[in-house]
Amino acid sequence: MKKIVYLDMDDVLCQYTTAFQQAIKENPAIQYPQSQYDFFRKLSPVKDALSSVQFLRQQPIFDVYILTAPSVKNPLCYTEKRLWVEDHLGFEMVNRLIISPNKGLSQGDYLIDDHDVGRGQDNFSGKLLHFGSPQFPDWLSIISYFKEKYKL
């Protein structure tokens, strides 16, 4: 049976915080930059994220999905996140995109997320790999974890 791996988008696959801070710097009057048209679609990928997703997808033991929470300040984020996935990971991954405000409702083996609480991460039934933490500071550490655990 394949191991289900969920990947968060914001600050795991794409650089949300960097874009948010830059938008505030450029226009401090905008309280919610993420509510601006095309904010999510224009996000840059996190270093090594795209190649790491490809690596995980190539392993026959993993079933990889994207599990991201919506920005309720921008109803367009649902479409923009979907377009970002197609732009950067291809149309096939669009069929593996789940947008949910509560990640704890999803059943799986792994959740790679930059937060450990706030969107149901603390109720996730599998193992949380806390991206950006001392144990998993970047994608290379995530891939090393899977390589060691599953002898890839």
Average pLDDT over residues 72-92: 94
Percent of the chain with pLDDT over 90: 94
* pLDDT (0 to 100) of residue 72: 80
Number of domains in the chain: 1
Q: Would you say 112 and 6 are in contact if contact means Cβ atoms under 8 Å apart?
A: yes
Q: Is residue 116's pLDDT more than 90?
A: yes
Structural domain containing residue 26 = 3-150
* pLDDT (0 to 100) of residue 27: 94
Q: What is the dihedral angle through the alpha carbons of 34, 97, 102, 15, rounded to the nearest 10 degrees?
A: -40
Average pLDDT over residues 48-64: 98
66: domain CATH number?
Answer: 3.40.50.1000
* pLDDT (0 to 100) of residue 3: 98
- Is 10 designated active site? yes
pTM over 0.75: yes
Put residue 132 in one of left, alpha, beta given phi > 0 → left and psi -120 to 50 → alpha: left
* pLDDT (0 to 100) of residue 96: 98
Residue 53's CB is within 10 A of a number of other CB atoms, namely 23
Q: Would you say 89 and 12 are in contact if contact means Cβ atoms under 8 Å apart?
A: no
Average pLDDT over residues 12-40: 94
Average pLDDT over residues 125-130: 97
Structure tokens at 32: 């919610």
What is the rounded CA–CA span in Å between residue 147 and residue 152? 4
Q: Is residue 73's pLDDT more than 80?
A: no
Average pLDDT over residues 134-152: 98
Q: Nearest 5°: CA angle at 4, between 150 and 49?
A: 75
* Confidence tier at 74 by pLDDT (50, 70, 90): confident
